[in-house]
Structure 1
Amino acid sequence: MRLLIADDEPVIRRGLVKMAETYRLQFDAIDTAVNGEHALSLIKEFEPDVLLTDIRMPRMGGLELCQELHEQYGHIQIIVISGYGEFQYAQQCLAYGVKHYLLKPVTGVVLHQTFDAIVKHRNKGIVSLASYVDWIENIGQEIWMLQTEQLDRLLLDWRAHLQAAGLSVPQLQQLLDDAVGMIFRRLVSKGYMEVSVIEPIGHHTVQEQLLNEFELRVKQMTADLVTQRWGNFKNPLDEVKSYIDTHLSEEITLEEVAEMAGYTPTYFSAMFKKMTGDTFVRYRIHRRMERAKELLALPHMRIIDVAANVGYEDYPHFTKMFKKVTGHTPTEYRTMLGFNG
């Protein structure tokens, strides 16, 4: 388990950490926050299993924090620490699902007993909504990018996570059916076309079967996407090359072309270089110069017009780039073809 301690008093905070460190079951990590706002930012980052919080803190108190967690992170177990005069606040916390309320001063024995109660009755059948949404987004992204190794690791990690969540078979079936639908809709919004029918997971009696069926559907969507891109459909790289060739006179960007192909700029840049042996910028420059050579072979075309046709309004810059790529100036190249300028 991971523990987060929120208290604005440094001495009390350190004392609570020491008491937690002596608990019979070692925590995976013990983190601290100086107020509710700080605690919430940490929770968004790593989601502890248990929160131990004072009820009165600056910026955001324990009551507000409990309310936030009740709405977004219902799986986190909360222990509230309060003074006698603050019992009415603790009563409000109970409405936010808080089950453990300790009076100050807190002793190690009482705190350890509370930890024991949490371990014994730790909620089962709960999956963090925030983690679930992130999981859906990540799986959809890895499918879209056809990153099969990362996808396999993600599926393996979540298989272990879901098996440890204590979900019933009906709960797991509903969760996975919903996940298939959400992933499918995200892919469709990006341009995915269903090649084969994605069936619901259906009824099974054991979790292992449900998880296997879910992974089969993820693999099916991945295979469909491969077919869409490289089977009965055009290779997206061919479409990219065609787009570059028909827009040589324009200042198109890597980001623009990546979006057209359905990739992130970083991934597209790496993929483009791997498949062409050139960076996007160098490839476009070479295609411009190849086109320029074709136009320079037309006697009626002025060199300044050739430059404009391949995207260079600055004639000296075009001449410099042409010589860098071909080893000759445009005029020298025309002379080699038997033209005079």
Structure 2
Amino acid sequence: MYSILIVDDEPMIRKGLEKMIRQTESLDCSVRMAENGEEALARIREERPDFVFTDIRMPRMDGLELCRRLAEEEPDVQVVVISGYGDFEYAQKCVSYGVKQYLLKPVGVQDMRDTLAKLTNALGRKQSPYYLSVARLDEWVEQMEVAVWSLHSEELERLLERLECDYDFAQLTVSRQNEALQELYALLVKKLAHRDVVPHDKELRLEGVATSAKSFGRLAEAVRKIAADLKAKRKGKAKNPVEAAKAFIDEHLSKEVSLEEVADVLGLNPSYFSQLFKQTTDETFVQYRTRRRMDKAKKLLEQPHYRITDISYEVGYADHPHFTKMFKKHTGYSPSEYRSRLGIE
């Protein structure tokens, strides 16, 4: 059975094309529909079609962008562009994206039959009817990257099992399986490198591996090794690094702990840690530390038995005048004024 997706923002045209397709004799097929390119991509990721019939002019994502995305993500899907615009420029762009058929509206029944005959003949000439979905594999790599980075071992194992079961690599030859797994591992390594995680084994070596079980075993072993090395680098702390950094800062507010020291405790590059902290908290390392020091100072000032000079030391300021200046800048009041407002003399 062939799978066909019709993409057009006009309901009547979608229904008309579906009717013509179903009238084609001896064609066993399922037909799905989408209103625009964005919806089409979502449906394609759910279930990869054999053929896509798409309009050019559509809202949200037009047919040309859909063709471009398909050329990148699903180059083996055969695309037919159906448009009411006979502009040669559109046809040229479609050809550059690998589109083989370009039909003008209104499409006749014979036009549809001839087109489907060409598409099915071309599909029949391919050596293998099975192709891996690039978009779905990219999604797997992104999820695996997060699982490794967060040291979520259960999710990591689930993803490894899902890869072997869901994507049905069994339909590929062992050599093609090996190539696909090597590509996946290389992409994962590349993504982790942006997080300053550099695995010891930058390539997945599968030379001479003759069974898919051994190939997947090698991949699983390599991914687990990355996670184990990362955990060791973080000194066994399987926590979110930013949350771990916050906890460390809060525990050492009385000391002048530097960003470099905290990054070293977490096993991260200082520059990368600085960027990660800012992106996650919307505060710089120093801004967060200062805010937490002032929060602690306010709590201590609310307790009459603490002297203000002692509080300044307790929150990391050996220079009392500097503490007073920072507290007023943060709250609008000096420490003594803050106490007075609470009725504490």
- Name 1:152's counterpart in structure 2: 157
Mapped to 1, the partners of 2:58 and 2:240 lie a distance apart of 58
- Name 1:31's counterpart in structure 2: 33
Secondary structure of the residue that 2:5 maps to in structure 1? strand
- Name 1:202's counterpart in structure 2: 206
TM-score by length of 1: 0.60
Secondary structure of the residue that 1:230 maps to in structure 2? coil
Mapped to 2, the partners of 1:56 and 1:128 lie a distance apart of 24
- Name 2:167's counterpart in structure 1: 162
Q: CA deviation at 1:143?
A: 0.8
Cα distance, 1:172–1:233 mapped onto 2, change above 3 Å: closer
Identity between Structure 1 and Structure 2 (%):
23
Cα distance, 1:296–1:197 mapped onto 2, change above 3 Å: same
Per-residue deviation, residues 273-325 of structure 1 (Å, max 9, x unmatched) = xxxxxxx99976654446765754379999986454557543449679879xx
Please tell me whether residue 105 in structure 1 is matched to residue 102 in structure 2.
Answer: no
Mapped to 1, the partners of 2:164 and 2:220 lie a distance apart of 9
- Name 1:335's counterpart in structure 2: none
Instruction: Determine if contact 2:325/2:334 at 8 Å carries over to the other structure.
Output: no
Q: CA deviation at 1:20?
A: 6.3
- Report matched runs for 1:60-71 at 5 Å: 66=67, 69-71=70-72
Cα distance, 1:246–1:74 mapped onto 2, change above 3 Å: same
Aligned residues: 303
RMSD: 5.5
Q: CA deviation at 1:144?
A: 0.7
- Name 1:218's counterpart in structure 2: 223
Please tell me whether residue 192 in structure 1 is matched to residue 197 in structure 2.
Answer: yes
Q: CA deviation at 1:190?
A: 1.7
- Report matched runs for 1:23-172 at 5 Å: 26=30, 30-33=32-35, 38-39=36-37, 41-47=38-44, 48-53=48-53, 66=67, 69-79=70-80, 97=98, 104-106=107-109, 110=113, 124=129, 126-164=131-169, 166-172=171-177
Among 331, 339, 342, the residue aligned to 1:314: 331
Aligned partner of 2:33: which letter? D
Q: Mind listing any 5+ residue stretches in structure 1 that lack a counterpart? A: 253-257, 270-279, 333-340
Among 166, 176, 179, the residue aligned to 1:174: 179
Among 294, 297, 306, the residue aligned to 2:310: 297
- Name 1:16's counterpart in structure 2: 17
Mapped to 2, the partners of 1:52 and 1:199 lie a distance apart of 36
Mapped to 2, the partners of 1:288 and 1:4 lie a distance apart of 64
Cα distance, 1:264–1:15 mapped onto 2, change above 3 Å: farther
Aligned partner of 1:297: which letter? D
Secondary structure of the residue that 2:197 maps to in structure 1? coil
Secondary structure of the residue that 2:205 maps to in structure 1? coil
Secondary structure of the residue that 2:109 maps to in structure 1? coil
Q: CA deviation at 1:4?
A: 2.4
Instruction: Determine if contact 2:3/2:29 at 8 Å carries over to the other structure.
Output: no
